[in-house]
Amino acid sequence: MMGNITESYETSAKIFPNKLAIHTNHQQINYQKWSELVNQTANWLYSLHSENKTIGILLPNGLPFLQLFAGASKAGWIAVPYDLKWKTTELEKRIKLFNPSIIVTTREIHYQIKHIIPNVMSLDDSLREISRFEVNIIRYSQENLPFYIGFTSGTTGNPKAFVRSQDSWMASFDCNRFDFEINEYDHVLIPGALIHSHFLYGAISTLYLGGTVYLLDKFSPIEGHSWIQSYPITTMYVVPTMVEAFLKQGIQISRSIKLLSSGAKWSERTKLKIYHIFSNITMYEFYGASELSFISVLSDRDGMQKAATVGKPCYGVEVQIRLQDQVLAKPNEIGKIYVRSGLIINGYMDHDGSTVQSIQDEEGWATVHDMGYFDEEGYLYITGREQNMILYGGINIFPEEIEKVISLHPDVEEVAVIGLPDSYWGQVVAAAVKGKGSPVELKRLCKKYLSSYKIPRKWFFLSEMPYTTSGKIARAELIKQMESKVTSD
């Protein structure tokens, strides 16, 4: 499959030139103008005659972020989005990995970092330069080049950089069509930061299919709600924490809307709440990973009967469960999840930034070390991450199962279960809780649903959880905090 993730823009510009492509708080732009902007951006990048053809994007949500990303793809360049939340030292580390030939950022940040980081350019200057270029494409790159370097949200310390090629996203666009039934008639709300591949992908896939993207500057349930009321939005990309924020606001949304959710699995209780708030909702939950893209999807039709699963494999994706000796697991046997598809990354970047380590074996299978099983009907269940597994006296315990039970308590806002070192058992189960539940009540709840050896031995109540930059609980950091509490107690 040869293609470029921007190749449909010119067709869209011919068929519906005046159709809205992108709507932000500050700008609205139609397909005619969008196609021209992307061409101008690509032509500007060509003119720089760069060796490594890499552009860093250090920008908040907005049209320019998407314009630079799409323009780079069109020019056969690689785009590397950097997170505005990173400290300068973190940013430097990640920039050193590939030394982009140019990094575009806001005027304020440009002023702060231009002495430290080379090749930084302010957005205003780059847009001024871009506007001088031809609106038709001069030269078009066709081969299947890497186009995107992202960073996985390492829940353990340092994030890893992964490299993606155009084809892997082109293959993912088919999942949008077949699994999520999205097409050019959709109006898609992107409420989260484009630095996260879930939201960036949501925007770029919508533009490829010829739909309209509505982009919030930053996530706010109140603003999200008012956009859903004011604009003809049909679809929204979300992560579970956003839906929780809508629930907290007590917002009611009656219009018919499709939710595409990735990230953590929702509890059945939360799902029922969601169906109360969004009375006309179609929900697609998908299980995926930065490295593997879409793996499985749970459609609305199965959502309530099969609330505990992550659904069935997506279009064009094969999934296997393997036991420790690589033997294929039978239904209901827990093993490691392996995936084979055209959606997988090229690999991880080595620390010197020059070579890419593939994550696939000779047959094309890859794993991110999640553990799970299939039921008799072919639905996939995730039991947890291999690295989160707690080894208690030779028994494997998955924290995710215990977290699910503890979060049933109405006063628990958030919970993380971890293994703490123990000289006799190897590890014991400990729970860190944000919220008001008392240990006695929580233990009682656990007794009702869990075997006795899974009930946490130690309880910690926190006012705040430590997070990674992508908003996941930083388990490594949490374990450090808990260990120091245990030793000081």
Decide if 31 contacts 57 (C-beta within 8 A): no
Write the single-letter amino acid at 467.
Y
- Which part of the chain has CATH 3.30.300.30? 389-488
Q: Please give the CATH topology (third level) of the domain spanning 389-488.
A: GMP Synthetase; Chain A, domain 3 (3.30.300)
Determine the number of helices (DSSP H) and then strands (DSSP E) in the chain: 15, 26
- pLDDT of 223 > 50? The answer is yes
* Torsion angle defined by CA atoms of residues 9, 12, 13 and 16, in that order, rounded to the nearest 10 degrees: -160
CA distance 320 to 328: 7
CA distance 68 to 44: 10
Specify the range with the lowest mean pLDDT, choosing from 129-143, 318-332, 432-446: 129-143
What is the number of alpha carbons within 13 Å of residue 116 lying toward its C-beta?
14
* Model confidence pLDDT, tens digit, residues 55-105: 999 999 999 999 999 999 999 999 999 999 888 888 888 888 888 999 999
Q: How does the average pLDDT of the chain come out, rounded?
A: 88
- Which part of the chain has CATH 3.40.50.12780? 9-382
Rg (CA), the chain: 23
Is this prediction's pTM over 0.85? no
Per-residue exposure over 385-404, b if at least 16 CB sit within 10 Å of its own CB, e if not = beebbbebeeeebbbbebbb
CATH (one of 3.40.640.10, 3.40.50.12780, 3.40.50.300, 3.40.50.1820) for 9-382 = 3.40.50.12780
* Model confidence pLDDT, tens digit, residues 415-471: 999 988 887 787 899 999 998 888 899 999 999 988 888 999 999 999 888 887 667
